């Protein structure tokens, strides 16, 4: 089932190239960047070591923009 993308998530995806490499984004943005994969697929990638997470608070998990760019460029090759 397709999930609804909020305005802020769509804006973050469209401005991803303008974000500094030291920025962090949340799971919905990562899902969109990876072609709409499920949250479970993203967590499998974390478990496999393909994606690395960062905790901003005990309940806020994020992903580093620079590392996501590296992953996306490696997948494009």
pLDDT, mean of residues 6-12: 67
Q: Is residue 13 part of a domain?
A: no
pLDDT tens per residue across span 39-75: 999 999 999 999 999 999 999 999 999 999 999 999 8
Residues written for the chain:
77
- DSSP-based three-state secondary structure for 59: coil
| Residue-number span of the structural domain to which 70 is assigned | 23-76
| CATH number for the domain that contains residue 31 | 1.10.1660
For residue 76, pLDDT over 90 is answered with no
The C-alpha atoms of residue 41 and residue 51 are separated, in whole angstroms, by 11
φ, ψ for residue 59, nearest 5 deg: -115, 10
Q: Is residue 3 part of a domain?
A: no
For residue 4, pLDDT over 80 is answered with no
Q: Is residue 10 part of a domain?
A: no
- H/E element holding 11? helix 7-14
Query: For the chain, how many structural domains are there in total?
Result: 1
pTM of the predicted structure, to 2 decimals = 0.82
Is residue 69 a contact partner of residue 30, using CB atoms and an 8 Å limit?
A: no
> Token pair for residue 5?
């993308």
For residue 1, pLDDT over 60 is answered with no
């Amino acid at each position: 089932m397709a999930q609804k993308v909020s305005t802020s998530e769509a804006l973050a995806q469209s401005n991803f190239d303008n974000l500094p490499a030291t920025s962090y984004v949340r799971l919905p943005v990562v899902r969109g960047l990876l072609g709409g994969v499920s949250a479970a697929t993203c967590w499998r990638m974390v478990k496999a070591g393909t994606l690395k997470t960062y905790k901003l608070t005990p309940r806020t998990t994020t992903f580093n923009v620079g590392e996501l760019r590296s992953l996306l460029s490696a997948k494009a090759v």
